[in-house]
């Protein structure tokens, strides 16, 4: 019988106090870039700023059942402080979110507050956002992940969650393939051996959906800790990216080769990552998946279906000559920014504070499973081993590589990743185009 997490007291939280608080402080001190990819679609909608008696918030989560209590708590906290001011949450479909927001920005009219992924998606839109450093000083010590929401040294959004790309695996699939379910691969060579066995047993080794082109983001940031040397990893984050290096070529060649070797489910380019890829993994249709720790496709959502069969591991070491150990790539996840056109900036900032309050963030973690950006949350503990392992890795984490790129280069990488899988371009052609875009 599949375990359920639908009750108010979620499966997995018991009595190891303060595990996030202990783990995140050093972890996020290392973060210097931004956050990543995606989340599921919700519902289409409109919404526009209408003055100081109403605030409109755009996001892609307020239509989710799992975040209902989080938004209710934020609304209640804000309205208690500002009686008579209405709050409207508008859940936009994620795959159209930044296009819709871009249209609003061009028109100079839209929501008062917007949800953002950290990194490129935020940095490309800071011209439409209010600087927040002089307004959120009381949040600085309580929250972590700020660097993902900065352009240079200026803060443009308040973090709500953390994001990271662990490798999740299904122990039952490993066992069926004759593998030790308690020994996930530590090296790329071991992973290749395991994949051959899993494929022979009738399962996909990895579940992958690249219809949106997002798969390459997960692949690059997921595998890079085992491919790049520490110095090369840090140089990439600092903007010193060598697209001609053997390691960068190795990543993209591996993307192509793993598809050719049959690691994935059929129809990768016609399969949606959100949510077909993760639904397949939850349904036992694959041995591994690169998932998230933020607002979806994380330990809690997989645990609901896989229970004790859920395992997690860090990127396998591909280059043992230069990589001695790997780490979890992680940084600030999603956050809220205030649009420049809002009629009452201070009022909007107060709503952002309610959206990032400890009580609200605790509900986001407990009900939706997102690793919150609030280091004061007493989460007590988890009895889901995957969650405990993820949190234990946070102190050694480094930011995700793909979020250091511009949105323009990411869009190009999405298209080229599909063409590379379909055989329409070569690895060298892909790297040449990405290098030109990343200048």
Per residue in 239-294, pLDDT (tens digit) is 999 999 999 999 999 999 999 999 999 999 999 998 899 999 999 999 999 999 98
Q: Which domains does the chain have, with CATH numbers?
A: 54-162+332-396 (3.40.190.10), 167-327+405-437 (3.40.190.10)
Residue 348 pLDDT = 97
The whole-chain average pLDDT of the chain stands at 88
Q: Kindly write down the DSSP assignment for every residue of 189-257, as one continuous string.
A: HHHHHHHHHHHHTTSEEE----SSSTHHHHHHHHHHHHHS-HHHHHHHHTT---TTSHHHHHHHHHHHH
Residue 390 pLDDT = 87
Segment 387-415 shows an average pLDDT of 90
Taking only Cα atoms into account, the Rg of the chain, rounded to an integer number of angstroms, comes to 21
CB 436 within 8 A of CB 408: no
| 110 compared with 48, residue with greater pLDDT | 110
58: enclosing H helix or E strand: strand 54-59
| pLDDT tens digits along 306-354 | 999 999 999 999 999 999 999 999 999 999 999 999 999 999 999 999 9
203 φ/ψ angles, rounded to the nearest 5 degrees: -110, 160
- Helix 407-422 and helix 427-437, axial crossing angle in degrees, nearest 10: 170
**Contact partners, residue 65, CB within 8 Å, separation at least 6:** none
CA distance 63 to 44: 10
CB 125 within 8 A of CB 360: no
Structure token pair of residue 24: 């995140």
| 52 compared with 198, residue with greater pLDDT | 198
């Amino acid at each position: 019988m599949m375990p359920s997490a639908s009750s108010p007291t979620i499966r997995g939280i018991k009595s190891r106090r303060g595990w996030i608080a202990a783990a995140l402080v050093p972890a996020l001190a290392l973060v210097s870039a931004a956050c990543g990819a995606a989340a599921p679609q919700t519902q289409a909608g409109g919404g526009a700023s209408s003055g100081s008696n109403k605030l409109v918030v755009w996001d892609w989560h307020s239509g989710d059942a799992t975040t209902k209590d989080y938004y209710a708590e934020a609304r209640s906290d804000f309205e208690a402080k500002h009686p008579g001011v209405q709050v409207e949450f508008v859940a936009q479909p994620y795959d159209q979110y930044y296009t819709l927001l871009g249209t609003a920005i061009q028109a100079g009219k839209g929501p008062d507050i917007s949800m953002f992924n950290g990194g490129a998606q935020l940095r490309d839109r800071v011209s439409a956002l209010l600087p927040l450093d002089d307004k959120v000083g009381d949040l600085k010590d309580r929250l972590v992940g700020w660097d993902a929401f900065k352009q240079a040294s200026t803060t443009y959004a308040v973090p709500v969650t953390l994001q990271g790309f662990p490798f999740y695996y299904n122990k039952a699939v490993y066992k069926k393939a004759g593998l030790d379910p308690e020994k996930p691969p530590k090296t790329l060579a071991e992973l290749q051996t395991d994949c051959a066995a899993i494929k022979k047993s009738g399962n996909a080794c990895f579940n992958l959906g690249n219809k949106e082109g997002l798969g390459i983001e997960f692949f690059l940031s997921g595998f890079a800790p085992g491919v790049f040397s520490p110095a090369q990893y840090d140089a990439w984050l600092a903007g010193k990216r060598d697209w001609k290096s053997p390691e960068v070529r190795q990543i993209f060649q591996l993307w192509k080769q793993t598809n050719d070797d049959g690691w994935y489910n059929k129809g990768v380019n016609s399969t949606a990552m959100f949510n077909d890829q993760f639904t397949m993994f939850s349904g036992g249709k694959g041995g591994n998946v690169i998932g998230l720790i933020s607002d979806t496709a994380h330990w809690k959502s997989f645990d609901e279906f896989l229970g004790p069969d859920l395992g997690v591991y860090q990127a396998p070491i591909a280059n043992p000559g230069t990589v001695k150990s790997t780490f979890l790539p992680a940084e600030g996840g999603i956050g809220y920014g205030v649009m420049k056109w809002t009629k009452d900036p201070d009022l909007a900032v107060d709503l952002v504070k309610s959206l990032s309050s400890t009580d609200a963030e605790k509900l986001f973690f407990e009900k939706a499973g997102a690793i919150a950006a609030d280091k004061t949350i007493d989460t007590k503990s988890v009895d889901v081993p995957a969650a405990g392992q993820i949190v234990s890795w946070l102190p050694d984490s480094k930011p995700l590589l793909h979020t250091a790129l511009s949105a323009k280069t990411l869009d190009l990488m999405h298209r080229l990743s599909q063409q590379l899988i379909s055989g329409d371009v070569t690895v060298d052609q892909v790297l040449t185009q990405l290098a030109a875009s990343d200048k």
